[in-house]
Amino acid sequence: MGITSRLASFVVDTSFSDIPGNVIQMSKQMMLNSAAAGLGASADTAVDTIIQLVEEMGGKPECTIMGRSIRSSPLYAALANGVMMDLPDYEGAVRRRVCASSRVVSPAVMALGERMAMPGREVLVAFTLGCEVSTKVGAAGDLDELIRPRMVNYGWHLAAVAGVIGAAAAAGKLLGLGQHEMESTLGVAVSQASGLQMNTGNAVTPFENGKAAMNGIMAAILAQKGLTGAQNALEAKYGFFDCYRRDNNVDEDQFFRSLANPYDVIDPGMLLKLYPCGSHTATAVEATLQLVEQHKINPEQVRSVRATVVEPHTGTLLRTPEAGLEGKKSIKYCMAVSLVHGRPQLHHFTDEAVHDPEVRAVMDRITWEATEQATKEVPSPSTVTITLTDGREVSHRAKYEKGHPENPLTPQELDSKFSECSLNKLSPDQIKETIDRFHHLDELPNVAPLIALLGTMEK
């Protein structure tokens, strides 16, 4: 058996009882977090475009589209919900893997789980395995790297490229596929892998994630119906590793020693974001907020600001933003928002908000340089120094943003995040019930009522 076959066996043979309790708990938090991000973006104009496509294409109305009054097929619901979950850059990723797998796997298992009226425990297993497959496959051969896998250095959008494989594995698990069908599922999914970093900062990147969720479901359903994929699709010459890593020299034994040992969401650990902006901006935001709170700084007191950060792996969109999504990638904009408004929130990243003259004026006083060095323990440190108009200079060094595994969200903070993202989309009773059901997801006999709650506000 090669890597593809052994990975199929791992997915087919792993049951709920095989997964550590802390992994299950983290998976529940991740799914709640993904739903929060999706609802937060559900009214965005970019989502309107996707919804128009879904409505024109049709589809049996079996699955909920979050924050909307329409239902569609599992494929189109996964597409739309996947776009929503990625669009606000408010979800999170496994550290050092640069793979936001949950925003691809979650819409896939939600759609298929709702259609099949699956127990919450089965959906959790599928989600957990799909995320582990995504992040381990995406970093295969580079699992001990300090910062990121080599595929990222080549320009691939790893959440979509590796995410489709995890989404397919998760969908196959929910469908109860056997060994041969699961091998075919992975073989079909590998041929659907796609996504480029060049579109970072516009709505194409979220579309890539939604399409990966959609294609993952499609791969599993087609394999169930008899479509056969290569049994060595990952490791073969011209296979996934050969094409996306540019070699197929992944050590098979090393890969399987690390698979689920531990799960990536535990180590290196999962970031659940508190700030809806790019990860390369977040520790600078953290340091800025700490200074504002400690010294009671208002924008009029700021003469200049200097920040040191780790070199961003995406060099684009660090300029002055002209659109809301660009603002999420701009270090200067995110820091200026923190100085003017406090904690950055979703409404600070609209096309109108990035032209706020007060924020723009503060941006002109901010400079940054990529002089920080990443380490395995502290991957993205930032030091912010503010010179005040009275001549004082104050400085703070942030090692971890809020939401990092070393500075995690509390359960209450995660619940509050969901509530904030759900305002004007769900009623207060729906918000409370949804949070409670996600907390007890492993106890639900049927996830369909939970997923349905994520639709439009009750009348």
**CATH fold of the domain at 279-398:** 60s Ribosomal Protein L30; Chain: A; (3.30.1330)
pLDDT computed for residue 447 by the predictor:
98
What is the residue-wise DSSP string for 379-416? SS-EEEEEEETTS-EEEEEESS-TTSTTSPPPHHHHHH
pLDDT computed for residue 200 by the predictor:
77
Tell me the Cα Rg of the chain.
Answer: 21
pLDDT-derived band at 230 (thresholds 50, 70, 90) equals very high
Q: Is the pLDDT of residue 202 over 90?
A: no
Query: Are the CB atoms for 444 and 119 separated by under 8 Å?
Result: yes
Q: How far apart are CA 452 and CA 71, in angstroms?
A: 9
pLDDT computed for residue 337 by the predictor:
97
Tens digit of pLDDT for each residue in 244-288?
A: 999 999 999 999 999 999 999 999 999 999 999 988 899 999 999
pLDDT computed for residue 261 by the predictor:
97
> Which are the contacts of 192, defined by CB distance < 8 A and separation ≥ 6?
164, 168, 212, 215, 216, 218, 219
Q: Over pLDDT 70: what percentage of the chain? A: 97
Query: Are the CB atoms for 230 and 4 separated by under 8 Å?
Result: yes
Tens digit of pLDDT for each residue in 85-108?
A: 999 989 888 888 888 899 999 999
Matching CATH number, 3-269, of 1.10.4100.10, 2.102.10.10, 1.10.10.60, 1.10.3720.10: 1.10.4100.10
Burial class (CB in 10 A: 0-12, 13-18, 19+), 180: middle
What is the pLDDT of the chain when averaged over all its residues?
Answer: 94
Query: Of 316, 340, 313, nearest to 328 (Cα)?
Result: 316
Tens digit of pLDDT for each residue in 359-372?
A: 999 999 999 999 99
Q: How far apart are CA 297 and CA 31, in angstroms?
A: 36
Tens digit of pLDDT for each residue in 139-150?
A: 999 988 767 799
Tens digit of pLDDT for each residue in 425-443?
A: 999 999 999 999 999 999 9
Q: Give the residue carrying structure tokens 């994929």.
A: 229
Half-sphere exposure of 131 (CA within 13 A, CB side): 32
Query: What DSSP state is assigned to residue 99?
Result: B
Tens digit of pLDDT for each residue in 35-46?
A: 999 999 999 999
Q: How far apart are CA 425 and CA 402, in angstroms?
A: 26
pTM for the predicted model, two decimal places: 0.94
Q: How far apart are CA 32 and CA 441, in angstroms?
A: 10
Least confident of 117-121, 158-162, 314-318: 314-318
> Which are the contacts of 238, defined by CB distance < 8 A and separation ≥ 6?
none
Q: How far apart are CA 425 and CA 55, in angstroms?
A: 20
Tens digit of pLDDT for each residue in 177-192?
A: 999 999 999 999 999 9
Q: Is the pLDDT of residue 457 over 90?
A: no
pLDDT computed for residue 458 by the predictor:
60
pLDDT computed for residue 316 by the predictor:
44
Sorted by where each begins, the domain ranges of the chain are 3-269, 279-398
CA 6 to chain centre: 26
Tens digit of pLDDT for each residue in 322-341?
A: 988 889 989 999 999 999 99
Q: What is the dihedral of CA 128, 129, 131, 132, to 10 degrees?
A: 110
The gap between the terminal CA atoms of the chain, to the nearest Å, is: 55
